[in-house]
Amino acid sequence: MANMPLLGDPFPEITVLTTHGEKNLPGDYKGKWFVLFSHPADFTPVCTTEFYAFQKRLAQFKKLGCELIGLSIDQVFSHIKWVEWIKDNLKTEIEFPVIADTGKVAETLGLIHPGKGTNTVRAVFVVDPKGNLRLMIYYPQEIGRNMDEIVRAVTALQTSDANGVALPADWPRNELIGDEAIVPPAKTVAAAATRMKEHTCYDWWFCHKKL
């Protein structure tokens, strides 16, 4: 397996065939966020529920300036027929492209985990407008993803970038500080001494503020 990209790395340049034609990643999405997610196989129950759920949240992703891209090691005609099945039977049109991977993308991104079989695992990659990999999540085939968490993660990354803050567990509904953000820790003794006068704090190393 090729060395898979790590957080902060440039997303590998790959030309892919999709249900919307040939695309170049990440170049065709320059200036936008995108979420690339893999699924084990077309015409399988858990994957069908995931595609339905992703499509239902497409407007939320679009509002964030974020595109969706699906992927599995299936031929493009299989993707097309599956998307048609979802439209005909679940009354939902899949509007995002689905990559027909020959195995090249799966190898590059580490999507085949031998201990879980020969299909791609359920991976999620969030890539920023500069083409850098910002978040990775892997799920086994038997567990479907939480799409609201992926929306939350993209929102949190954008909020962190825009405000230079960190965000707590379950943000924006954290059990300690609600929807507030965590102020970066002080880097000098002098800053630590004044930190608790400038922000609401549990201690000088744990301060938070409204955005």
Q: If we measure between CA atoms, which residue out of 47, 14, 69 comes closest to residue 144?
A: 47
Rounded Cα distance between 72 and 142, Å, is 15
Q: CA of 90: how far to CAs of 82, 122, 137, in Å?
A: 11, 22, 27
For the purposes of burial, counting CB atoms within 10 Å of the CB of 135, is it exposed (0-12), middle (13-18) or buried (19 or more)?
middle
CB under 8 Å to 5, separation ≥6 — which residues? 11, 12, 108, 109, 133
* Sign of the C-alpha dihedral computed for residues 69, 27, 153 and 5 taken in this order: positive
Rounded Cα distance between 36 and 99, Å, is 9
| CB 35, CB 126: distance < 8 Å | yes
**Phi and psi at residue 144, in whole multiples of 5°?**
-75, 155
Place of tokens 């440039």: 10
| Catalytic position from the list 47, 66, 201, 207 | 47
Q: Is 47 a catalytic residue?
A: yes
User: In a 3-state reduction of DSSP, which class is residue 199?
Assistant: coil
Rounded Cα distance between 193 and 70, Å, is 49
Catalytic residues: 47
